[in-house]
């Protein structure tokens, strides 16, 4: 299971202990898919506008923090006339209920979607217990 | 509106209440229209003789989106599909949307279909279109009499 920790509000930047967050930029909660397979937990988070070097992922004990900084979307000589989405950063925190093998975590970013594979630690995998006769 | 006796007295304490009620009705009737966002969300930037349309398309590959142009209407079409590596999975959270999408964008002027540039980086599609030469405003000189 992955439980979300609500540390960020959708559109109001709060004073959390995040030095990377720039002022005057909203922090969005990236819509995420999370699924569990036999031996890993997979997180897919939508962060359009974030380049691979703008992603920051930390796992501290069972708290997984995902942060993304999107590049400034400015067009010189152009004027913004219509707006449906805002530029901003992304932040989301989950608490995982499984122990993760942190040496084998894989993270890729493709087309603005973060793909995170968190392999379960050996101890967390279910073991069949045989009854002794 | 004139349901109360108060207008005859010169003031009506219920006017404000009724105004608030109609305002609430107006807000709630349009609620679905403003929250159900069209996909993809777009931004439009206007230059002197060109326009830039950007769209947020996370998880969509370059070959999964079709851009077409008809007169001054730009069409974005495509499909978002879940790309699972395994079938037998246990879902814990499904917040991302999937399915086909189609969006028509009305441009502020007619554009030259030969001068369209599109880039797609990190899930943001950026299309730059130039105004048609014949459509540009022309300055008219006044001849001296």
pLDDT tens track for A83-126 = 888 888 999 999 988 788 888 999 999 999 999 999 988 776 66
Whether the model pTM is above 0.95:
no
Assigned architecture for domain A2-8+25-71+85-122: Sandwich (2.60)
Peptide bond just before A130 cis, omega within 30 deg = no
Partner-chain contact A37 B57, CB within 8 Å: no
pLDDT value at position B123? 92
Asked whether residue B36 carries a pLDDT value surpassing 50, the answer given is no
The whole-angstrom distance between B120's CA and the closest CA on chain A is: 8
Question: Which range of residues forms the domain containing residue B74?
Answer: 40-82+98-135
Residue of B41, B46, B92 lying closest to A84 (CB–CB): B41
pLDDT value at position A14? 45
- ipTM of the prediction greater than 0.95, yes or no: no
- The answer to the question of residue B10 being in a domain is no
A97 contact B CB<8A: no
pLDDT value at position B28? 63
CATH no. for residue B57?
2.60.40.790
- The structure tokens 């030469």 sit at B133
A40 contact B CB<8A: no
- The answer to the question of residue B113 being in a domain is yes
Quick one: pLDDT band at residue A23, thresholds 50, 70, 90? low
Q: How far is CA B19 from the centre of its chain?
A: 31
Asked whether residue B33 carries a pLDDT value surpassing 50, the answer given is no
pLDDT value at position B129? 93
Question: Which tokens in the block code for residue B99?
Answer: 């399915």
**Residue B34 phi/psi, 5° resolution?**
-90, -25
Q: What is the mean pLDDT of residues B86-93?
A: 83
Chain B, nearest residue to A40 by Cα: B89
The string of pLDDT tens digits covering residues A48-58 is 999 999 999 99
pLDDT value at position B105? 92
Q: What is the dihedral of CA B63, A53, A108, A74, to 10 degrees?
A: -30
- The answer to the question of residue B71 being in a domain is yes
Partner-chain contact A85 B41, CB within 8 Å: yes
Asked whether residue B109 carries a pLDDT value surpassing 60, the answer given is yes
A46 contact B CB<8A: yes
Strand, coil or helix: what is A13?
coil
Q: What is the mean pLDDT of chain B?
A: 82
B124 contact A CB<8A: yes
Q: Which residues of B touch A82 (CB under 8 A)?
A: 42-44
Cα angle vertex B26, ends B23, B31, to 5°? 125
Best mutation target, B45, B61, B108, to test chain A (most A CBs within 10 A):
B45
User: How many structural domains are present in chain B?
Assistant: 1
Q: How far is CA B94 from the centre of its chain?
A: 25
Q: What is the mean pLDDT of chain A?
A: 81
């Amino acid at each position: 299971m992955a439980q979300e920790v609500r540390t960020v509000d959708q559109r109001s930047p709060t004073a959390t202990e995040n030095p990377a967050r720039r002022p005057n930029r909203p922090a969005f909660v990236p819509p995420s898919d999370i699924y569990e397979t036999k031996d890993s937990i997979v997180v897919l988070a939508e962060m359009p506008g974030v380049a691979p070097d703008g992603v920051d992922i930390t796992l501290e004990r069972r708290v997984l923090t995902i942060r993304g900084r999107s590049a400034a979307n400015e067009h010189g000589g152009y004027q913004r006339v219509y707006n449906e989405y805002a530029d901003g950063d992304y932040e989301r925190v989950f608490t995982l209920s499984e122990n993760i093998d942190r040496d084998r975590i894989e993270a890729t970013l493709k087309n603005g979607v973060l793909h995170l594979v968190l392999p379960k630690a050996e101890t967390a995998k279910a073991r069949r217990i045989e009854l002794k006769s | 509106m004139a349901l109360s006796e108060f207008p005859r007295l010169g003031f009506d304490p219920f006017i404000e209440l009724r105004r608030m009620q109609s305002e609430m009705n107006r807000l709630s009737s349009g609620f679905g229209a403003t929250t159900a966002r069209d996909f993809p969300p777009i931004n439009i930037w206007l230059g002197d003789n060109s326009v830039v349309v950007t769209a947020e398309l996370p998880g969509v590959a370059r070959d999964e989106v079709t851009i077409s142009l008809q007169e001054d209407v730009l069409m974005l079409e495509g499909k978002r599909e879940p790309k699972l590596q395994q079938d037998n999975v246990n879902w814990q959270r499904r917040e991302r949307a999937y399915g086909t999408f189609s969006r028509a964008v009305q441009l502020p002027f007619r554009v030259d279909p030969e001068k369209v540039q599109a880039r797609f980086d990190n899930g943001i599609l950026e299309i730059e279109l130039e105004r048609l030469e014949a459509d540009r405003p022309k300055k008219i000189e006044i001849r001296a009499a």
